[in-house]
Chains A and B, each alone.
Chain A
């Protein structure tokens, strides 16, 4: 049984296609593993048994998958980590999930997340925080914390999450796995509960770069139900590149990061040396506007969120509270009780930024910064093939450590937000282990590689070569502390 779970999703897929692995047995093994969730990583698991899966399996050759609870699944609870959607069972299934099901991947369960994907630690879930499989006193990152934890913790072979400002890459880094945010428009957003529509993108969280490529190949594509989706021309092939010769990697001087933890900096510099050892060229590039990324992001994302979350009013679905008074009283009571503090904070921030008289100073200005950041990347990609940074300024922090300091929490996204604003693809791969500030057992460090829009294939090829070069093989101990 342990052998089955040790296979990567790609290995399992190949074995199933070759007839060497029984799909039902494999899925049952994962269901059993998922049932042992001690991380609070799953909000819902398919406990119906292999004979009658909740969602029909059409072809049994893709590994079962854990799905962030932000994707709608027909008849299956979908909460987006929020109290306001408690008990909600959507009448339809998200395109990304439908594609997985059609490819033969049964849904193992729905994973915990920061409420409406707002957070970097998974502490903003209405259903309790997810624990980091490397250290149960630490956060798995967020907002796709559950999706990262199940893969790192041996509760799912792979998963999908969503990334708005780093919500796939940062938890992947904190949990020591691979996380890919594709180009905006590569994968349909239909059925992905909206946080910030112009930034949200679905992507894979996997053990290996090859698994990420396999999953992206299934997920990507234009969807008639999403006007902003375009897909990736030519699809995605499995990466096979062994070296990085002739490839240029740019390190943005502006993102050098004074606040970078020493251990993270050390792993980052080792990785740059590894790139050179593989034949790649490392140079400095300039992204002059990128340091304003966080400011722009925390105007644009809350502004869109304030509008996207206005539909949760207790009228048609989900939670309803109050209602003994008038309509406004019902709206207010429902939303006061249904939303958590971080969601409320962002709704207020976003409402303010869009208000008459403030729009130009906030939303308008933030959009200008966003355009500049995209132009910065265009300039950088004229000189280099990839831009590389640490994924996050630190390794995983302790539960509660930053939950009272929103600004400190927001800075977790310092390295990931610029790529989101530019709409370009970026991947985080585990690059090594580092001791947290303040001491303790070593924790994973992520290395982020970004590429031009729709250059996912080139991105995966380089990430694969570097992954092989690094040879990261540490696994969580699983014990507390």
Chain B
């Protein structure tokens, strides 16, 4: 049987960080006493009407612009009808066939749509299961009810759980950098559901999908998808068929339980919301949404890779961490000779390691090592005034105490040995004489054996020798 690949699409709910709810004037809150942020409208008293939050519409337009979505010139709200205590109207105001944001793209993944809707209230089921079935009672907290949400739906463009989780991180960063949401999975302001199916590699057809819910961290998201991928593969390989259902992932046990099958699927009886008029964004609103966009991760990663010659890993790290990226750019601006990719390596490699060692929770807007100092250090190494090893020592001092890199080099006697002084040459000769076995191995063609001699030279010079020069001298002597 051919190998099976996963086909994954994501549905991401983003709570918008507006001041008030989607359709009433109640304040948004997290962690407050239950049911204090409520009014007749969000409690669905008889006779109330929704009035849309203009800020939420503007935020949705910003998300649409960031995801390169087509913006609908006229979109409408629908009612999604269902009975449940978390929905006081017994319908959710959402968008259906004409969402505010249509087709778009983020990185390699196509966006199907992004639409505006309201969040449900929070239900807490009293009892051991934590679910409504078998609970002694259910409590409802309407504080969350009516919070503005943007639901982003991707095309099924993702092919494995790790890739899907990585893309979800990119999306979170993109939305976070827009400043329109707290995007905290833990607090529920970012919620990711996954639609998963499997098919033989090379097939273009889509298999029957399942929907996976309740993954409140990226780690659980990936683990949940992996578990479901494995389950479907085992099922299909055993000759079975995947059934359409909604699954709940329990991160504690790693198990998947069915929430409802296709037969139990709701008929939401969608119809246009008669209490609201269409959303018709003005040209000015669209322009403002576009102009409000900062440089977003995808664009920054591309610029760093193409224009600054950064490798993929540091480019993506800076894409995710805008403050770190700003620090990187400030350092580049201060540096003369040092290449951006060298500076990137200093930041993502030695500096990060050194900060971690010192248990520093780095805030790159107020960095421990000022960009000018790091730039100076990188230049010293690039100009071969000090070795890379000495550079690391200087960096450790910069992190621990601060100071001027050149003064530190002077004080610590780290200046690189002049290669034409003859001093280095005699140290190399002595090291070769002390390690005849290594010399023999090199002669026999074992290039790796040179390390022992270089190491001895470095120990002797306390790292002040230029590694390249040491190598050249050894080869010369051989």
Contact = CB atoms under 8 A, between A and B. Distances in A.
B271 A190 contact: no
Interface stretch (B66-74, B81-89, B254-262, B463-471): B81-89
Contact of B88 (A88, A311, A356): A311
B48 interface: yes
A85 B277 CA distance: 29
B40 A92 contact: yes
A80 B45 CA distance: 13
Given A225-B51, A228-B277, A313-B90, A307 B46 contact: no
A354 B44 contact: no
B46 A190 contact: no
B383 to A, nearest CB: 67
B167 interface: no
Interface in B38-78: 40, 43-52
Interface string B285-298: 00000000000000
A311 B270 CA distance: 16
Contact of A92 (B44, B45, B85, B90): B45
Interface stretch (A36-44, A192-200, A247-255, A441-449): A192-200
B138 A190 contact: no
A189 B277 CA distance: 14
A313 B83 CA distance: 9
A310 B47 contact: no
Nearest to B142: A316
A228 B83 contact: no
Contacts of A304: 271, 274
Nearest to A80: B46
A190 B39 CA distance: 14
A26 to B, nearest CB: 30
A72 interface: yes
Question: Considering residues A193, A196, A225, A310, which has the most beta carbons from chain B within 10 angstroms of its beta carbon?
Answer: A310
Given A310-B90, A313-B83, A316-B88, A94 B271 contact: no
A355 B45 contact: no
Interface string A114-137: 000000000000000000000000
Contacts of B138: 327
B271 A359 contact: yes
A59 to B, nearest CB: 25
B275 A228 contact: yes
A91 interface: yes
A72 B6 CA distance: 55
B41 to A, nearest CB: 9
A307 B269 contact: yes
A277 to B, nearest CB: 42
B47 A191 contact: yes
Contacts of A225: 49, 51
A311 B269 contact: no
A193 B46 contact: yes
Chain B contact residues: helix, strand, loop or mixed: loop
Interface string A347-361: 000010011100100
B388 interface: no
A191 B52 contact: no
Contacts of A356: 267, 269
Chain A contact residues: helix, strand, loop or mixed: loop
B126 interface: no
A72 B353 CA distance: 66
A72 B46 contact: yes
A461 B166 CA distance: 69
Contacts of B277: 227-228
Nearest to B79: A307
B91 interface: yes
B91 to A, nearest CB: 6
A351 B52 CA distance: 26
A80 B46 CA distance: 9
Contacts of A351: 269
A91 B43 CA distance: 11
B276 interface: yes
B36 interface: no
A90 interface: yes
A303 interface: yes
Question: Considering residues B44, B45, B47, B81, which has the most beta carbons from chain A within 10 angstroms of its beta carbon?
Answer: B47
B235 interface: no
B360 interface: no
Contacts of A313: 83, 85, 90
Contacts of A355: 267, 269
Given A90-B46, A228-B275, A307-B269, A315 B81 contact: no
B228 to A, nearest CB: 27
Given A224-B51, A351-B269, A355-B267, A310 B83 contact: yes
Nearest to A351: B269
Interface residues of A, number: 44
A309 to B, nearest CB: 9
A227 B271 contact: no
B45 A317 contact: yes
Interface string A334-377: 00000000000000000100111001000100000000000000
Interface string A70-104: 11100000101000010010111010000000000
B125 to A, nearest CB: 10
B49 A311 contact: no
B230 interface: no
A189 B48 CA distance: 8
B457 to A, nearest CB: 78
Nearest to B275: A197
A61 B308 CA distance: 78
Contact of B48 (A71, A190, A315): A190
Interface string A177-202: 00000000000011111101110000
B132 interface: yes
Contact of B47 (A72, A307, A331): A72
Contact of B46 (A197, A224, A227, A311): A311
Nearest to A328: B83
Given A310-B90, A331-B83, A227 B47 contact: no
A239 B267 CA distance: 51
Contacts of A310: 81, 83, 89-91
A311 B40 contact: no
A70 to B, nearest CB: 8
Question: Considering residues B44, B46, B79, which has the most beta carbons from chain A within 10 angstroms of its beta carbon?
Answer: B46
B120 to A, nearest CB: 14
B47 A315 contact: no
A354 B81 contact: yes
A226 interface: yes
Nearest to A74: B40
Contact of A198 (B52, B81, B90, B274): B274
A223 to B, nearest CB: 9
Contacts of A196: 274
B85 A315 contact: yes
Given A307-B91, A316-B88, A327-B85, A90 B49 contact: no
Nearest to B266: A356
Contacts of A227: 49-52, 275-277
Contacts of A92: 40, 45, 48
Interface in B267-284: 267, 269-271, 274-277
Contacts of B52: 227
A225 B44 CA distance: 14
B47 A85 contact: no
Given A227-B277, A327-B85, A359-B271, A316 B50 contact: no
A355 B270 CA distance: 8
Given A90-B40, A310-B81, A85 B46 contact: yes
Contact of A72 (B43, B45, B50, B267): B45
14 contacts: A72-B46, A90-B40, A90-B47, A190-B48, A194-B47, A197-B275, A311-B46, A312-B46, A313-B83, A315-B85, A316-B44, A354-B81, A355-B267, A363-B271
Top-4 shortest CB links A-B: A310-B90, A198-B274, A354-B269, A197-B274
Given A307-B90, A327-B132, 6 more contacts: A71-B47, A225-B49, A310-B91, A311-B89, A317-B45, A359-B270
